[in-house]
Amino acid sequence: MFQTVTKTLLVSSSSLVYRSICQSLRHYCNQSSTKLRVSEALAGAELGKNVRVQGWVRSVRPQKKNIFLHVNDGSSLQSLQVVGGAELSDPLLTFGSAVEVTGTLRKSPHPQQPVELGADQIHVVGECNSVDFPFKIKERHSLEYIRQLPHLRCRTNVFSSLLRVRSEATTAVHSYFKSNGFLQIHTPTITSNDCEGAGELFQVEPSGPDFEEEVNFFSVPAFLTVSGQLHLEVMSGSFSRVYTFGPTFRAENSQSRRHLAEFFMVEAEISFTQSLEDLTKVMEGMFRSTTEHVLAHCADDVGLFHKHVTPGHRDRVDAMLKQSFPVITYSEAIDILNRSSENFTFPTDWGCDLKTEHEKYLVKHCGDVPVFITDYPYDLKPFYARDNQDQPKHTAAAVDLLVPGVGELCGGSLREERLSLLKARLEDVGLEEIYSWYLDLRRFGSVPHGGFGMGFERYLQCILGVNNIKDVIPFPRFSHSCLL
């Protein structure tokens, strides 16, 4: 009896040890698996090896012997196919659920996909109720629909593609300026200046029981910036090429497809120049360099827009890159508008501000490619634009870049570096006291200089063909809407 009990205990003990060893081995295998992003797996990294992929289920198809998943982690438009045995099926494996999959990365027998992941384990990290989930697996949702769900729209193919394009375009902009000798400046978000003089400002005020409403926190009225230009001009007194890339704000009461209350601007300033051509070269160079980079590095994502959102737009983008951007003066533009047979809503007299309808016509007239308009009426431009001192039509050395489908993309000018003329202009508009520091820039080592700004969201609209500016920014803010 004693021998039987002893033998049973030994066998039982051996089983426990065996199970413990197996668990340790499984733990070791899980720890030794290489974690890959989906884009790396699709490129064939670690082929034939044990890997671990984490992401969200884009489709699930259970069969009698196997289960098929498509998993995406945002690193690529394409999803990775996961193939596992039927025993790995789980009711929690639904469209939208978050998973971690461990298995062997292998070549796929199907020609449409280079690799697949043979799953040993599928762990549901986060559940998703696919019935209540507002995006459905076999439906193509419009940009207007997904715009209503800013907290979830990054889960869709089209918006995740937009965000990858936006990220790559940001990288390309910084790369262009770095390779061309520009120094990046972090200009302030809170400022006491109204750069454009338009008065469309968000005032910044503290909130809380410890603050009196009548007292300014900064001792002077402070606002969210509408432009980093004036701060760049400060820096251009010491650096010959500077730029900034950040958020700007306009309190414009508009819900049109062209306006946002918060958007991103790329702005640059160049010292020792008296030529608008120096500015147009940088504008055109940045546009071409950034677009070529995006097309090369985000081919699938851009292709999604050009195929499903704006069919045929790729031909327009290619045409923009093939031709040099023509340059015409404002006076020539007015002549073109007045000779046309179009019935414009707004007037086209010399001295009028060009509206979107005028800009789009001029772009089309010039071959449906970006076009520079120079030498605007002096009275249309802000106080800092350089006076051309021409007669009888008084113009400023200013330039806009108009692009197909959008209208104005960039706006810039040579800056008035002559102290007497600048002082007289500030006196005329009643800003001499407020901008006394700006006059100091002209008193101490001033040089001829100029700069421009580009609306980043409008650039994305231009290359992707997106109609509404609210669809090219992660969290759009506009009149009567500040979700999240």
List phi, psi (to 5°) of 41: -65, -45
Quick one: pLDDT at residue 196?
58
Quick one: pLDDT at residue 206?
85
Quick one: pLDDT at residue 191?
93
Strand extents, DSSP E, 127-202: 183-184, 190-191
For residue 432 the two structure tokens come to 């001499």
Give the 3-state secondary structure of residue 371: strand
Q: Which CATH number fits domain 35-126: 1.10.1200.10, 3.40.50.10540, 2.40.50.140, 3.40.50.1820?
A: 2.40.50.140
Averages of pLDDT over each 10 residues, the chain, 484 residues: 48 48 47 88 92 96 93 96 94 95 93 91 95 88 92 95 98 98 97 72 84 76 93 96 96 85 97 97 98 97 94 94 96 96 94 95 95 97 95 95 96 96 93 91 94 98 96 93 86
- In single-letter form, the type of residue at position 476 comes to P
Quick one: pLDDT at residue 5?
45
What's the CA gap between 82 and 104, in Å, rounded? 10
Quick one: pLDDT at residue 387?
97
What's the CA gap between 484 and 475, in Å, rounded? 8
Query: What is the value of pTM for the model shown?
Result: 0.90
Distance between first and last Cα of the chain:
74
Q: Domain 153-471: give its CATH code.
A: 3.30.930.10
For residue 12, the number of C-alpha atoms closer than 13 Å in the C-beta half-sphere is 6
Range 128-135, long-range pairs (CB < 8 A, 24+ positions)? 128/57, 128/94, 128/95, 128/96, 128/97, 128/98, 129/94, 130/94, 130/95, 130/96, 133/95, 133/96, 135/96
What's the CA gap between 416 and 318, in Å, rounded? 37
* Contact indicator for 357, 345 with CB cutoff of 8 Å: yes
**Residue ranges covered by each domain of the chain:** 2-29, 35-126, 153-471
Give the 3-state secondary structure of residue 295: helix
